[in-house]
Amino acid sequence: MFQWSTHISCLFPEILAMIFSYLDVRDKGRVAQVCMAWRDAAYHKSVWRGVEAKLHLRRANPSLFPSLQARGIRRVQILSLRRSLSYVIQGMPNIESLNLSGCYNLTDNGLGHAFVQEIPSLRVLNLSLCKQITDSSLGRIAQYLKNLEMLELGGCSNITNTGLLLVAWGLHRLKSLNLRSCRHVSDVGIGHLAGMTRSAAEGCLNLEYLTLQDCQKLTDLSLKHISKGLTKLRVLNLSFCGGISDAGMIHLSHMGSLWSLNLRSCDNISDTGTMHLAMGSLRLSGLDVSFCDKIGDQTLAYIAQGLYQLKSLSLCSCHISDDGINRMVRQMHELRTLNIGQCVRITDKGLELIADHLTQLVGIDLYGCTKITKRGLERITQLPCLKVLNLGLWQMTESEKVR
Ligand SMILES: *[C@@H]1O[C@H](CO)[C@@H](O)[C@H](O)[C@H]1NC(C)=O
Ligand SMILES: *[C@@H]1O[C@H](CO)[C@@H](O)[C@H](O)[C@H]1NC(C)=O
Ligand SMILES: *[C@@H]1O[C@H](CO)[C@@H](O)[C@H](O)[C@H]1NC(C)=O
Ligand SMILES: *[C@@H]1O[C@H](CO)[C@@H](O)[C@H](O)[C@H]1NC(C)=O
Ligand SMILES: *[C@@H]1O[C@H](CO)[C@@H](O)[C@H](O)[C@H]1NC(C)=O
Ligand SMILES: *[C@@H]1O[C@H](CO)[C@@H](O)[C@H](O)[C@H]1NC(C)=O
């Protein structure tokens, strides 16, 4: 009725525990006779910590959950839901992580029956793609899950700014929030999160990871709120946010703790936007401006001036050329990953510059760079640390050439 799995871990006993977890009780008895370590792995609580139970809530016997809890299992992933969620919560009062991602059947009602009192142990809740969930569930969550650190609401398209007000009121420990494709969310909601409506809600001022991918209503005002209120933010994902513009980058450019910024497919971001970013006090390690049609060689010059500490830079499909590469490579001593796939103007000359100067490079994406040839690639493959080379379309055209 259920399977087990574990997160990748170097801890030997956990791996044993994982392997043994596939055994039934009789086989477990057999391995337990092999030696002490094996017996511990097969039965002992401590080694079950970190192990996650994955199960279909169909005919699962309610008494299963206390037995999981007794083994020290604190993380549960529900694969499908045709039985009340309250069994899980009642049976496992010390639950730490609950993954309901993709449980389309989950309703406000079902969640309401499960969360009827405080669950202080719960730190991680994944409701992504639970499309029936509305603000009313967020009210419950804000009331009873005060210690939540990670909340995933990606694709929960019925969530509105009111729901975010509730989150901002109740979940002060939140470190990570995903609002991907929550299409009703606007600047007002982001203002709540950032503590701009203090009289009503304190805000989630401890947020470190915020994903706003594909939140189409957001404008530069959201970025202003974020930069003022969410000063601990480390990772900000704004990909596919068509409503933000270059002026918004001025706000972000002073976020000292920001470490990774994703602006992929933000159609209104141009070289001027990266200029603002480069002129502030950012210490970015990762920047993604792939598929920003208005980004060209000038951006590479700005990056060399003010964002030279980047470890990862993605410019796929941007209008950059060998000239831009030339203006950047000498300053980028930290760069480990460079993604320039589908930059169709890049030639062997650009690759030569990369090979000569970006000697720390570990990964490069050249997918769809149709102007490059074997000669340029030979130079790239001589990079001493290179481990990942994506060629994609190039290989196709090359094999066609061979034919
Ligand atoms: C969702 O609920 C309906 C009716 O209650 C049921 O027929 C269906 O099998 C459920 N789907 C899943 C994935 O549990
Ligand atoms: C949560 O469930 C989803 C969907 O099944 C899965 O893709 C994801 O990896 C799970 N998360 C964790 C941390 O296990
Ligand atoms: C939540 O679910 C989404 C979608 O299945 C998955 O991509 C993500 O990794 C999950 N996150 C966690 C923390 O479980
Ligand atoms: C969720 O949104 C959909 C489409 O916008 C709507 O039809 C549905 O009634 C909403 N559900 C709830 C519970 O509000
Ligand atoms: C941010 O968005 C991109 C899509 O542009 C996605 O691939 C990535 O996984 C997202 N990152 C996070 C941390 O959610
Ligand atoms: C880009 O900005 C222009 C002018 O500021 C605006 O009219 C347009 O709607 C924006 N594009 C998108 C996709 O929002």
Q: Give me the DSSP letters along 28-45.
A: HHHHHTT-HHHHHHHH-H
Domain 1-49, CATH class in plain words: mainly alpha
Q: What CATH architecture does domain 260-402 belong to?
A: Alpha-Beta Horseshoe (3.80)
Domain ranges in the chain are: 1-49, 52-244, 260-402
Say how far apart CA 274 and CA 290 lie, in whole Å: 13
Q: Quote the ligand 6 centre to 244 CA distance (angstroms).
A: 8
User: Mean pLDDT of all residues in the chain?
Assistant: 87
Contact 169, 200 (CB under 8 A): yes
- The whole-angstrom separation of Cα 229 and Cα 37 is 50
The DSSP string of 45-72 is HHHHTTEEEEEEESS--TTHHHHHHHTT
Residue of minimum CA distance from atom 7 in ligand 4: 158
State whether the beta carbon of 290 lies less than 6 angstroms from ligand 5: no
Length of the chain: 403
Contact call for residues 206 and 231 (beta carbons, < 8 A): no
Which SS3 state, helix, strand or coil, does residue 79 take? Answer: strand
Nearest atom within ligand 5 for CA of residue 211: 14
Which residues sit with their C-beta closer than 6 Å to ligand 3?
Answer: 99, 101-102, 124, 126, 128, 150, 152
**pLDDT reported for residue 11:** 34
What's residue 18's pLDDT?
54
Q: Do domains 1-49 and 260-402 have the same CATH topology?
A: no
Looking up tokens 């669950």 gives 119
**Residue corresponding to tokens 């001027």:** 272
CB 221 within 8 A of CB 252: no
Place of tokens 């769809």: 368
- Ligand 2 atom with minimal separation from the 79 CA: 5
pLDDT at site 6: 32
Closest CA to 353 of 375, 323, 308: 323
The pTM score is 0.86
CA distance 118 to 95: 12
- What pLDDT digit, counting tens, does each position of 228-271 carry? 999 999 999 999 999 999 999 999 999 999 999 999 999 999 99
- CA–centroid distance, residue 125 to ligand 3 (Å): 9
Q: For position 46, what pLDDT does the model report?
A: 53
Nearest residue to 285 (alpha-carbon basis) of 314, 245, 249, 324:
314
- Residues in contact with 364: Cβ distance below 8 Å, sequence separation at least 6, in sequence order: 337, 338, 339, 340, 354, 380, 383, 386, 388, 389, 390
Ligand 6 near 243 CB (within 6 A) = yes
pLDDT, residue 153, reads: 98
Query: Ligand 1: distance of its center to the CA of 85 in Å?
Result: 14
Q: Which residue puts its alpha carbon closest to atom 6 of ligand 4? A: 158
Write out the H or E segment, with its range, that includes residue 226: helix 220-229
The whole-angstrom separation of Cα 279 and Cα 299 is 12
Cβ of 97 closer than 6 Å to ligand 2, yes or no, is no
The CB-side HSE value for 354 (13 A sphere, CA atoms) comes to 33
Instruction: Kindly state if the Cβ of 192 falls inside 6 Å of ligand 5.
Output: no
Ligand 1 center–CA 122 separation, angstroms: 26
> pLDDT of the chain along its 403 residues, tens only?
233 333 322 234 445 555 555 555 555 544 444 445 445 555 554 555 566 777 777 666 777 788 888 878 888 888 887 778 888 888 888 999 999 999 988 999 999 999 999 999 999 999 999 999 999 999 999 999 999 999 999 999 999 999 999 999 999 999 999 999 999 999 999 999 999 998 889 999 999 999 999 999 999 999 999 999 999 999 999 999 999 999 999 999 999 999 999 999 999 999 999 999 999 999 999 999 999 999 999 999 999 999 999 999 999 999 999 999 999 999 999 999 999 999 999 999 999 999 999 999 999 999 999 999 999 999 999 999 999 999 875 544 444 443 3
Going by alpha carbons, the residue nearest to atom 10 of ligand 4 is 158
CATH class of 52-244: alpha beta
- Give the residue, by CA position, lying nearest to ligand 5 atom 4: 239
Q: Report CA-CA distances (Å) from 259 to 54, 85, 89, 323.
A: 33, 37, 36, 27
Q: What is the DSSP string of 106-157?
A: --HHHHHHH--S--TT--EEE-TT-TT--HHHHHHHHHH-TT--EEE-TT-T
Other Cβ atoms within 10 Å of 68 Cβ, number: 22
| Per-residue pLDDT reduced to its tens digit, 60-76 | 677 778 888 887 888 88
Q: Report residue 256 CA to chain centroid gap.
A: 20
Judge residue 32's burial from the number of C-beta atoms within 10 Å of its C-beta, 0-12 exposed, 13-18 middle, 19 or more buried: middle
Q: Which residues line ligand 1 (CB under 6 A)?
A: 80-82, 105
